Every structure is written in C-alpha cells, then in structure tokens.
Amino acid sequence: MDGSRFSLWRTAHRAFKVFNKEKKLNRYKASELIKKAFPAVSRSENSHVNVKGNKSPYDGDTLYWSKRNSKLYDGATSKCLKRQHHSCGHCGLKFMDDERVQLHHIDGNHDNWEPKNLIAVHHSCHQHIHTGKTGKV
C-alpha cells in the first residue's frame, strides 16, 4: 500500500465515521456515500467494513434457522419438515426451536415409518394430540 493511498483511506475512514455519526445514516448508506466521495478507496473500504449482518435467531428469520437446524435431524424428521415447509403439522405455526420438534405417527403405530404416516409437530402439540379427545394414539 503506497503512502498517498493510505492517507486517502484514512481521510475516507474519518469521513465515514463522521457521516455515520452526524447524519445518523446506517452503515450501508454511509459506505455508499464514501464510495461516491472516494471511489479510489472503495476496495479497501469494502474489506474494512463488513456490511453483511450476522444472522441471529432473533431477527425474525425463523425459516432460515429452521432449514439450517434441520440438518441436525435424521432423514425422517428433516423430510417431514421439508414437506411441511417447516410448519407444525398440528397447529401450522413455524418451528421456532428444534428441540420441540417431534415426529407423530398418524396411525398410532410407532413401527410405521412410512412418510405418509409421519408428521412433525411441536412437543406441546404432540402432547395435545395424545391427550386430546381425538381418540388417536
């Protein structure tokens, strides 16, 4: 990195901070402004500022986590999850927490592992199925 480029980067970096702070822009907008103002440093600026946010279980993107975490399951459960679009077969809500996903045998025969006979349900829904008055076991 030569000296002039480095000082330009520092100027841009300082401007980035100023934009960010004083104009209350989000990071993306601030870096776009910097790119326009200092096109020569866009590359180093890009490597310096990582605008790709980290996914967290709390950002509302539950489908992302359901898909990701379904890898932890054996084939039968993940097939069920896929077929049901990661929704509970009983209440229809998306799975939020994989520990609560259980497989229910529709015909009550726990040796029947036909895909048709299996639905993925929440733990609480599963209890409801079995303690409810549907007569199914």
Give the number of residues in contact with Zn ion, rule: CB under 5 A.
6
Among 1-9, 33-41, 45-53, 81-89, the segment contacting Zn ion (CB under 5 A): 81-89
Residue 88 interacts with Zn ion (CB under 5 A): yes or no: yes
67 binds Zn ion (CB under 5 A): no
Nearest approach in angstroms of CB 137 to Zn ion is: 7
Beta carbons of 103 and 77 less than 8 angstroms apart? yes
The verdict on 91 binding Zn ion (CB under 5 A) reads yes
DSSP class of residue 89 equals T
Tell the smallest beta-carbon distance from residue 125 to Zn ion (Å). Answer: 3
DSSP letter string, 4-70? HHHHHHHHHHHHHHHHHHHS---HHHHHHHHHHH-GGGHHHHHHH----PPP-TTSS-HHHHHHHHG
Non-local CB neighbours of 12 within 8 Å, separated by 6+ positions: 34, 37, 38, 41, 45
CB of 42 to Zn ion, least distance (A): 48
Binds Zn ion (CB under 5 A): choice among 101, 118, 120, 125: 125
Interface residues toward Zn ion, by CB under 5 A: 88, 90-91, 104, 122, 125
